[in-house]
Structure 1
Amino acid sequence: MAERVMFVQLKTGHGTDQGPAWISNVRFNRTWKTAYWHGRTLRRWPGMSDANFFDVETDERYWLSGPHRDRADTRYSNIRPTIDEDVRDLYEAFLRGGPLPGR
C-alpha cells in the first residue's frame, strides 16, 4: 500500500475551507480510490464539488491533497493544520525545501 504525507481537511459541517485540518500519513490502495487515515476508510468520489473523498461509515466529506510548501493548503482561508507527530520531522524538512517520501 502506498503511503503519503497529505493535507486532510474535514468539509462536512463547516463553511468553505473552515473545517479542521491535519498533516498526516495517509495510506492508499493500489488504485488510489480508497484512503485509510486515522482509523477511517475514505473513498474517492469525483462528483463532489467541495471534497474529493468521503468516509464510508459516516458519509463525512474530506479534502485530501499534497501539502504546499508555502502552507497555502486551503483556497479561501488561512486555517493551519494540526501536524501529526509521526510526520512532523518529514513535514518540517519539506517546508525547508526537502522532498516528501514517495514523491
Structure 2
Amino acid sequence: MKSRIMYLENKETGEARIGRVTFSRTFQTIYYRDKTFHRAGSEKIQGNFFDAETREEYWISGCKKKGSDYHWSNKVPVAIDDDVKVEYWTSIRGAEEKIT
C-alpha cells in the first residue's frame, strides 16, 4: 500500500496531528495506526473523511511546505508523530538542520 505523511484533524474534538497514513487501492479509504477512515460523500459535514468505527468527522489532507496544514476555517495546535518528525521537517518543510 502507498503511504504518505498527512495532516489529520478530528473535527469534533479539535485534536490535530501529522502522521504517516496508508491508502486503499482506490484511495477511498485511509489507514492511520488502528483507525480506518472512509471518504465522506456529503457537503453537509465539516470533514472530508469519517472514522469507520466512531463515525467522527476528520479533515485529512497533505502537508504544506509553509506549515499551514490546518483546515482554513479552524486553526488548531498540531502534534507530529515521532516516527515522521525528521522527514516532515526536512522533506516537506525544507529545514536544513537535523530535527530531534
TM-score bin (small chain): 0.7 to 0.9
Partner of 1:53: 49
Superposed CA RMSD: 1.7
Matches of 2:47 and 2:31, distance apart in 1: 16
Q: Structure 1 length as normaliser, TM-score?
A: 0.81
Partner of 1:67: 63
Q: Secondary structure at the match of 1:22?
A: strand
Q: Structure 2 length as normaliser, TM-score?
A: 0.84
Q: Secondary structure at the match of 1:91?
A: helix
Match of 1:28 among 14, 23, 27: 23
Q: Does 1:96 align with 2:59?
A: no
- Runs of 4+ with deviation above 4 angstroms: none
Tell me the alpha carbon deviations over residues 15-56 of structure 1, each in whole angstroms, 9 at most, x when there is no partner.
xxxx11101000101000011112011101121441111111
Gaps of 5+ in 1: 99-103
Matches of 1:92 and 1:57, distance apart in 2: 31
Sequence identity, in percent? 34
Ranked by relative contact order (alpha carbons within 8 Å, sequence separation 6 or more), the top structure is 1
Gaps of 5+ in 2: none
Partner of 1:8: 8
Aligned pairs, number: 93
